[in-house]
Structures are given as C-alpha cells and as structure tokens.
Amino acid sequence: MKLYRRMWLLLPLLFLITPRTLRAIAAPSSLCPGVERWSVKTGTDPDAGLVNLNSSTSTTVETLRAIAAPSSLPANSRIKPTETTQWVITGMLMQYKLEDDKDYHLVIKGTSGNTMIVEIPLPDCVKPSGSGTPFLAGIKNARDKFNHKFTATTSFQTANVFVQIKGVGFFDTLHLQTGVAPNGIELHPVLDINFLTTTQHVGNPGFEDGATSSWTLSSDVINSSAAEPPHTGSWDAWMGGYQTTHTDTALQEVTIPAGANIATLTFWLHIDTAETTTTTAFDTLKVQIRNSSGTVLSTLATYSNLNHASGYQQKSFNLTPFKGQTIQIFFTASDDVSLQTSFVLDDVNVNVGQLCPSCL
C-alpha cells in the first residue's frame, strides 16, 4: 500500500518531464566537452551572423593553407575575413574519426598532396536545444550525409574518396592533430559534404603486363629486375640509370572529362644515384603535360640526382585545369656522360572525381 501511495506522489512530476528535459538527460553537457573556441566552432558566438550562408567562395586546400596564421586566437569572436566566409573545397577524404567532443574529424588531401582538417559537430552538441546558431541546419545536413556513407569510430579509418566540402573557416590551435595545416586552418563546422564518383584514366598504371600496353615507351624502360624493385606488383618503369648520355621517355594520352570537379595525377617515384654532388643537377626527370600534338602545356616538376632518397615517394599534381582536354602525360629522363641516376616510376594514376547524384 505504501508503494502505491509513493507512485501517486510521483505522478505530478512526470508531467514536468518535457522532450527538452528528456534530451538533456540523454545528452548531458559532459557528453560534448567542447574546448578551444567552442562557440566559434559551433556558431554560437556573437559574430556568427556575419557569415553569409547564401554565398560561398570556392578555394583549394593549398590556398587555405597559405593564409597567414593569426597572431592570437580570440575565444569568442571571429577573425575576418577567413572565419566569416563560407568556403567550398574539393579534395580527397583520407581519414576520419569520432573525436571526444563528438565532432567528426576528417582529413582532406589537396591536389598537391598536402592536407587540412574539416570537422562536423554533433548537432545535439551545438546547444542542448539545438537553437542559437545559424549553422544548425547545415550541420545536420552534413552529419546525415556522412552517416549515410560511413560509420565513424574513435579510431581513424581510411576512406580515400573524393569529396566536395562546404564549411566555415576556422583557425584552431596547433596540438599535433592528424592532418592539421601548418596555420591551423580548418572548415569548422562543415555545412555540406558531397561524395564524388572516382574514375581512374591511366591504362596499365603499374606496368604489370610487362609490355608497353597503353604506354609509348623508349626501349628497355619496362623492368622486373630486383636491382630496381617495383613499388607494388612485379614491374615498373626504370628510366635513366645509364653511365652515358641517354634519354628515356614514357607517354600516355588521357582525356579529362569536361564535368570533372577534380583531377589529379599521382605516381610513385624512386631516385637513386651514383652522383656525389650536393649542388649540381647532372641527371634529370621532367614531368610534363602536353597536348595531343606534343606541345608542352605545363612542366609539373623536374627531379634530379639532388632528389635521391631511399624507397619510393608519392607525387601528386593538379590536372583540373585541363578538364575537357585530351592530354599526354609525359615523363622524360636525361642522363649525362657519367655516373648514373635512376628514376623508377610505378603506379601512375589519373584520378577524376565528379559529383555523384545518387550520393547526395
């Protein structure tokens, strides 16, 4: 009888439990231990209204990384114009992770191979009621899209997919974050994310047929010797390495679709040399883009005996300016009269990303 009496006494309290109260019980403030300019990260700062959400500025990872780092970081106000601009970048989503503050930490690689961080907060962590920020709808949108594609955990996972990201600029403190830009720039919060379909446009990228399929190569470039082992597989393209005046070439023609949002050339390169100089480039490898007639449109890089290193290194270049064109990917290695330098290529890829309607 006493038990029933006590239950009746509790009934009035049940009517005081509103959806907001239940939400607070389910998601206490300790669930989202926001630190480091949390109000600016989530748009609950007094300057959030300065961000024009009806306008966005397209840029690149490289351009954002080049912005001068501010001398100080105000706790509750924005650094103009970077933190009052909605930016759009396209790059490769390399890794992602669920952080302690419930943000999704995404590492985005630009066309040069450099990275920066973008973050998607948990909408429930913006404010207990979800109000007070003009960014809430965008945060929910981005979080839902990401959850449809991936499941983030407290450990980094690899994605390697092209994405187009829209978000607000933000300078974070440097504390050894994975993928952080040297100036601390991020897009935080992310307000939209679109996953791009990725196609690879180089035939026989790893030279694995042991012949010149898809490539136009000078003689004796295809290699399976243990003297210059491949990056992957059993074959590579060994250019140079002669102790006499000699030129090797490798060429493949590809078409970059007009509708490409991003296009990158990547390859793995190993350079070893018998040269001892630390100042003179005696032997060189040029990486060029030519048109279908062979006219040089751009020299992307020139490597030499001065760049020798143990093992392979991946190189990355932006081909987006050539969208809508048929181009030649052209490598040319030149040896001088003595002391060899070997330029060993493998896993040459031209990856193109385009908006994926079914992923939106």
Domains and CATH numbers, the chain: 31-196 (2.40.50.140), 201-359 (2.60.120.260)
> Which token pair is 94?
């390399």
Q: What pLDDT is attached to residue 274? A: 96
pLDDT value at residue 5: 38
CA–CA distance from 167 to each of 35, 85, 97, 158, 320 (Å)? 19, 8, 18, 22, 22
User: Is residue 256 a contact partner of residue 298, using CB atoms and an 8 Å limit?
Assistant: no
- 319 with 266: CB under 8 angstroms? no
Report pLDDT for 8.
42
pLDDT at residue 118, as a whole number: 98
Provide the H-helix boundaries in the chain. 2-14, 19-26, 38-42, 61-65, 123-126, 136-149
- The C-alpha atoms of residue 137 and residue 133 are separated, in whole angstroms, by 9
Would you state the pLDDT for residue 355? 83
DSSP letter assigned to residue 310: S
Gyration radius of the chain's alpha carbons: 26
In contact, 154 and 98? CB cutoff 8 Å: yes
Alpha-carbon distance of 226 to 229, in angstroms, equals 5
> What residue type is assigned to position 145 of the chain?
K
Task: Give average pLDDT by consecutive 10-residue segment, the chain, 360 residues.
Answer: 42 42 40 80 92 96 97 95 97 96 96 95 74 88 97 97 97 94 97 95 94 90 95 97 94 95 96 96 97 96 97 95 97 94 98 71
- Going by the DSSP 8-state scheme, the letter that residue 70 receives in this structure is P
Torsion from C-alpha of 261, 265, 266, 270, nearest 10 degrees: -170
CB 299 within 8 A of CB 286: yes
pLDDT for 150: 97
Q: Contact 264/319 with Cβ under 8 angstroms? A: yes
What is the rounded (10 degree) CA torsion for 270, 274, 277, 280? -60
**CA max distance for the chain:** 105
Q: What is the pLDDT of residue 131?
A: 55
Distance CA 330, CA 235 (A): 19
- Contact (CB, 8 A) for 239 and 344: yes
